[in-house]
Amino acid sequence: MTTKNLIKIKSLKHDGSLHRMWHENIILSQTEDLVIGYNNATKVTEADGKEWKSTEPAIFYFHKKKHYNVIALLKDEGVSFYVNMSSPYRLENQILSYIDYDLDLLLGPEGDMKLLDEDEYDLHKKKYKYPKELQRELEKSVEQVYQLIEKREAPFTKDFVKKWYRKALKKNDY
């Protein structure tokens, strides 16, 4: 593994302040618009400086033209998908950054879906004055994610996760 494959992931708030940072993440595939990667037991730093380690392997999916990113969490009971409604990502100097817009969707291993943090979204859209166009884009993105899940399309498939997890294990000797 080269240091070129190792990145930090920085989640920001709308005003540019730090929300959370994952320190060691491995890029498994990168195209002009897409980054797919892996982390496991990586150090995470919160905005208030508190640190913790992630507890399960994860495959992440970031797209430059989508207002969401996806983290597939490989848990003992099965794969869960955590979706952040966000800005499209930027990757500069080995730091992948995005703005977190609070709304999250959790898809459990049994297919149960739950929209999370709607109260936080409502609070922050006023506090940070999210433009109406951005609000419409985020609402549209929630619908797009629901449609991908219903159609069982990547990255919301076990085959997608298995493929990238195998590559992570092979590439990085985890």
Q: Which residues are catalytic?
A: 20
What gap in Å lies between CA 132 and CA 138, rounded to an integer?
A: 10
Phi-psi region for residue 55, left (φ > 0), alpha (ψ -120 to 50) or beta?
alpha
- Number of Cβ within a 10 Å radius of residue 108: 14
What CA–CA distance (Å, rounded) separates 19 from 16? 9
Task: Answer for the pair 45, 133: CB distance below 8 angstroms, yes or no.
Answer: no
